[in-house]
Structure 1
Amino acid sequence: MITTYSRLVKNRYFTLALAFLINAALGSVYSYGVFRSGLENHWGIGALESGLPYTVFLAFFAITMPFGGALIEKAGEKRAILIGAAVLGAGWILAGFSGDIRTLAAFYGVLGGGGVGLAYGAPLNLALKLFPDRKGLAMGVTLAGFGLSPVFSAPLIRRAILEAGPVEAFAWSGAVLAGTVALLSLFLRRPPAHPHAHTALGMAALPDHDYDTREMIRSPRFYAIWVSFAAACAIGLSVIGMTPSFAIDVVGISPAGSTAALMIFSAFNALGRPAFGYLSDRVGPGAAGSASFVLVFCAAAALYVLPASRWAFAAAFALLWLNLGAWLAVAPAATAFFFGFTHQPRNYGIVYTAYGAGAIAGVSLASWIKETTGSYTSALLPMATAALLMAIFSYFSLRKEPENKRRAHIHFTRSEIRSGRT
C-alpha cells in the first residue's frame, strides 16, 4: 500500500493533476464578477468602484509574482504554495468583515492578490520541469485549472452570497478555497533539478543559453513578450470583468443566466491554455500569440456590429475568454523558449508584471467607458483595433528561430550533458 502511494506521488502525471486542481482553487478571481452587482446594491456604488477590488487583486497578483519566483527557488514549490494559501485565505476572510469597498479592496486585493502571486508560479514550474519535451502543453494543462475555476468557484460564491450576503460571502468562500489549496499541496514532491532527467526528449527543448533575470531584461525579446502579454491581458481581463454586466444590461440575460454564461466561458478560457500551449510548441510563440489576437479582432468586431444578439454574445465572448487563456500559456512558454529553464520562476515573475499592467489599464478603461457612455459596447472598437495591431507585432517580434540553429544548439547541449558540464 505504501509502495503504491509512493509511486503515485512520484508520478509526473499525478503531480500535473494536483497542479491543475491547485490552480482551479487559486483562479477564483475569475468569479469576482458574481460579487459585483451585489456589492453595488449593498453599498450604492457604480461600476468603477465595484471593479476596484478586482483591479487591485490583479495588480498585486502581478506585483508579487517576482517575489513568488524567488520564494520557489529558495523554498521549493510546496512551501511557496502553502505560504501563498495562508496569505490568500487571510485576505478573503478579512474582506468578509469590510465596511466599504476600499477596505474590501485592501484585504481582498492586496492580501488575496498577493497570496495568489506567491503561489501561482509553483504549479507552472512543476509542469515545466516534469514535461520539458512538451512544456507549452504541460503548462497549458496546469493553467487550464486556473481558467476553469469559475466552474467550481462561481456556484460556491453564489451560494455563499445567498446565505450570508455579498460581503460576508468573501470569508466563507475564502476559507474553503485556501483550505483546498493547502491540502492539495501536501501531496506534492519537488521535481528533478535538471529538466532532462525525466526524458531524453527534454534535451531537445533546452535553449542554447539560460538567461538570468538581468540578461533577460536586456533582451528585445523580453519587451516583445511583455508588451504582447500586457495587451492580451488588458483585453482579456476587461472582458472577464464586464461579462456579467454585459450579459444582463446589453443582451438582457437574467442574473442566473449570466452566472451560467460565466461558467461556460470559463471553459473556453481553460481550453485556450493547453490549445495555445500546444500550438506554441508546434509553431512557436509568435505565430501562436498572433493567432489569438486575430481571433480577438474577429470577436470584438462581430460584437460591435451585433451587440444585443445572444448568438453574437455567446460566440464573441467565448473567443474573447479564449484569448486570455491563450496568452497565459504562450507567455510562460515563450519565456522558457527564449530564456531557458534554470531561472524560469524569477524570469516569468518579471514577465508576469505585464499581467498587472494589463489589468489596471484594461479594467479601468472598460469601467471608465461604461461610466461615461453608459454601455460597455463603446469599448469594442478600440479593442478590435488594438488586437489587429498586436497580431502583427507579436508575429514579427516573437518569431520561432530557424530549425538549423535549434539543431545546432541541441547537438551542443547533448554533448555538454554527456561530458558532465551541466
Structure 2
Amino acid sequence: MNLTRKRWRTLIACCFINLCLGSIYVWSVFAASMAEFLSTRNGVALTTADLAIVYTIANSVGPITMITGGSFNDKFGPKKVILTGGLMVGIGMIASGFATSVGALIVTYGLIFGLGLGMTYGTAVSTCMKFFPDKRGLIGGITTAIYGLGSVILPPIVTEIVAVTDAAAAFKIVGVAFLIIICGCSFFMEQCPADFVPDGWTPPAVAAGNKAENKNWKEMLKTPVFYVMLLLFTCGAFSGMMVISQASAVAANMVGMTAIMASTAVSVLAVFNAAGRILAGLLSDRIGRINTLSVASVLGIIGLLLLYMTGQGGYATFYIGIAGIGLSFGSFMGVYPGFTADQFGAKNNSVNYGIMFIGLAGAGYFGPSAMRKIYMAEGTYHGAFLVACAFAAAGLALTFVYRFFAKKKA
C-alpha cells in the first residue's frame, strides 16, 4: 500500500485517538459525583468548584508536552510518542479512580492525564497535517472536530456509567478503554517522509517570497508574524473558552432554562463548535486562512452581542448567540494547525504548533477566569460578554495586522 492510500488509515487512527482525548470536555460529568465521593470519604463538604483547579491544570499543561512531544515526533516518529501519551492518558484516568483527595486528582488527572493529552493530541494532528499538504484546512478541521465531538458523544456514555457505578469506577472503566484504543491506534500512525507528495497532486507554484520556509522554533520566534498569530489565537479563542466553561450556568441563570434545556444548550454549542472546525477548514482551503479567521472573528462579535442582549426567556437570541460563538471558536481551532504549517513549513510543525497552542492555553485560562470574576462581582454574566467582544474585535484587527506583515514579506 503506497503512502497516498495509507495516509487515510493514519487519519482514521488519529480520529479515534482524538475522540478519546475529547473526554476532557466530560470533566463536569465526573466532577459532581467525585465531589460527593470525596466529601463522604473525607468528611469535608466539597463542591464542583473545589475541583475546578483539576480541570484548569489539565487544560493548562497541554502545551508543555505538545512542544516536547512534537520534538520527539520529529525524531522518533508518531508511533512511540502516541504510545507513550496513550499510556499517560489511560493510567492518569485509572489512577484518578483511586484518588482520595483533590491533591491526588491534581496529580493523576491534572498532570498525568493532562500531559498525556497534550503529547498525544499534538502529535496526531501534526502527523496528519504532513500527510495532507493538498488538504491542510480540511484535515485540520476534521481532526480537531473529532476532538470537539467528544463533548457530544462521550457525556451520555460516561453519565450512564457514573449512574450505574460512581465517578471513581467510571474513571477506571473509561481509563482502561482509552488505554486500549489510543495505544492500539498508535501502531497505525506512520511517519511522513519529508519529501512526500500525494499521487496526482502538484504543489501550487508560488513566488519565492511567498513560499513557506521550514523554520524551526527558534527561527519562528524571531519573526514578528508569530506574535501576531499567537495573539490572534488568544483573542479568537477567548469567547469560546469563556462560554464553554459555564454554558450550562449561563443558560440556567441568565435565560432561566431548566436543567434539561441547559444541557441541550451545551450540546448545541458543541455541535456548532465541531461544525465550525470542518466548515472553516474546508473554506480556508478555498479563500485562505486569514480571510476565514476574519469571518470567524465577525461571527464571534455578533454572537457575543446577541448574548449581551439576552435576558430571561430570550431563547432565540441565546441559541443564535452560542451558535455564532461555537462556529467562531471551532473555526480558529480547525484553521490554526494548517495556518501554522503554511506560515512556518510542515517539517517542524509538531513543535511549532505546540508553541502556537500557548495562545489557546492563554484563552483557556483568562476567559473562564474573567467570566467567573465578573459574575461574582456583578451577579450577572453580561459584562463578561462585553469583555469577550473587545477581545474578538481585537482579533479582527489583528487579521489586518497579519495581512500587513504578509504583504511586506511578499
Fold in common (TM above 0.5)? yes
Report the Cα distance in structure 1 between the residues aligned to 2:404 and 2:171, rounded to whole angstroms. Answer: 43
How far does the alpha carbon of each residue in 1:257-298 deviate from its partner, in whole angstroms, 9 at most, with x for none?
433433332221111112222233233332222221111111
State the distance in 1 between where 2:267 and 2:102 align.
25
Relative to structure 1, the CA distance from residue 191 to residue 48 in structure 2 (aligned partners, 3 Å threshold; closer, same or farther) is same
User: Secondary structure at the residue paired with 2:238?
Assistant: helix
The farther-off stretch of 47-56 and 68-77 is 47-56
Q: Does 1:20 align with 2:15?
A: yes
Q: 1:28/1:326 Cα in 2 relative to 1: closer, same or farther (>3 Å)? A: same
Question: Take 2:396 and 2:278, find their aligned partners in 1: how far apart are those partners?
Answer: 20
Match of 1:312 among 308, 311, 317: 317
Q: What does residue 402 of structure 2 align with?
A: 397
TM-score in terms of structure 2 length:
0.88
Structure 1 Cα separation of the partners of residues 180 and 261 of structure 2: 29
Match of 1:352 in 2: 357
The answer to whether structure 1 residue 152 and structure 2 residue 147 are counterparts is: no
- In structure 1, C-alpha distance between the alignment counterparts of 2:362 and 2:228, rounded to whole Å: 15
State how far apart, in whole Å, the 2-side matches of 1:8 and 1:133 are.
14
From 293, 299, 305, give the equivalent of 1:295: 299
User: Does the 8 Å contact 2:65/2:118 carry over to 1?
Assistant: yes
- Are positions 1:321 and 2:326 aligned together? yes
Contact 1:69 1:349 in 2 (8 A): yes
The letter of the residue matching 2:235 is A
CA positional deviation for 1:79 = 1.9
- Residues 116 and 88 of structure 1, relative CA distance in 2, 3 Å threshold: same
Distance 1:218 1:256 in 2: 50
- How has the CA–CA distance of structure 1 residues 213 and 246 changed in structure 2, closer, same or farther, with 3 Å as cutoff? same
Cα distance in 2 for partners of 1:312, 1:377 equals 13
Gap runs ≥5 in structure 2: 40-44
Is the alpha carbon distance of 1:382 and 1:208 closer, same or farther for their aligned partners in structure 2, counting shifts above 3 Å?
Answer: closer
**Which residue identity does 1:32 align to in structure 2?**
W
User: How big is each residue's C-alpha offset from its partner over 1:318-349, in whole Å with a ceiling of 9 and x where there is no partner?
Assistant: 22222222111222222111111111111111
Deviation at 1:37, TM superposition (A): 4.4
Q: Does 2:95 align with 1:90?
A: no
Shift of 1:41: 5.7
The match for 1:164 is 165
- Kindly report which structure 2 residues correspond to 1:256-267, keeping only aligned pairs within 5 A, or say none: 256-267=260-271
Are the aligned partners of 1:285 and 1:398 in contact in 2 as well (CA < 8 Å)? no
Q: Percent identity?
A: 28
CA 1:203–1:9 in structure 2 vs 1: closer, same or farther (change >3 Å)? closer
2:277 paired residue number: 273
User: Corresponding residue for 1:134?
Assistant: 135
| Change in CA separation of 1:133 and 1:202 when aligned onto 2, cut-off 3 Å | farther
- Provide the residue aligned with 1:414 in structure 2: none
In 2: Cα distance, 1:397 partner to 1:9 partner: 33
AA aligned opposite 1:162: A
1:210 deviates by: 1.5
How far off its partner does 1:149 sit?
1.0
SS at match of 1:394: helix
Mapping of 1:192-341 within 5 angstroms? 192-202=193-203, 204=205, 207-308=211-312, 309-341=314-346
Q: 1:160 to 1:193 in 2, by over 3 A?
A: same
Please give the secondary structure, in 2, of the residue aligned with 1:132: coil
Aligned to 2:66: 65
Shift of 1:401: 4.5
Note closer, same or farther for the CA distance 1:145–1:202 as it changes in structure 2 (3 Å cut): farther
Q: Distance in 2 between matches of 1:131 and 1:247?
A: 40
Cα offset for 1:73? Answer: 0.9
Partner of 1:412: none
Q: In structure 1, how many angstroms separate the alpha carbons of the residues matched to 2:217 and 2:4? A: 32
Q: Deviation of residue 36 (structure 1)? A: 4.3
Change (3 A) 1:372 1:102: farther
SS in 2 for 1:32: helix
Q: Which residue pairs with 2:122 in the alignment?
A: 121
Aligned to 2:54: 53
- Secondary structure (helix, strand or coil) at the match of 2:254 reads helix
Q: CA offsets, 1:93-151, max 9 Å, x none?
A: 22222333343233211111101111112222232222102211111111111111122
Q: TM-score, normalised by structure 1?
A: 0.86
Do the aligned partners of residues 83 and 178 (structure 1) sit closer, same or farther apart at CA in structure 2, a change above 3 Å counting? same
Tell me the amino acid that sits aligned with residue 135 of structure 2: R
**Where does the alignment leave 5 or more consecutive residues of structure 1 unmatched?**
1-5, 406-422
Q: Is the 8 A contact 1:280 1:287 kept in 2?
A: yes
Q: Distance in 2 between matches of 1:307 and 1:99?
A: 41
Structural RMSD (CA): 2.7
Query: Which residue of structure 2 aligns with residue 419 of structure 1?
Result: none
Q: Is the 8 A contact 2:298 2:396 kept in 1?
A: yes
- Tell me the alpha carbon deviations over residues 332-388 of structure 1, each in whole angstroms, 9 at most, x when there is no partner: 222111111111111111111222222111122222333333443431111112211
Partner of 1:418: none
Shift in alpha-carbon separation, 1:399–1:257, aligned structure 2, 3 A: farther
Task: Provide the residue aligned with 2:386 in structure 1.
Answer: 381
Partner of 1:371: 376
Separation of aligned partners in 1, 2:163 and 2:404: 50
The answer (yes or no) to whether the contact 2:275–2:330 under 8 Å persists in 1 is yes
- Is the 1:48–1:364 contact (alpha carbons within 8 Å) kept by the matching residues of 2? no
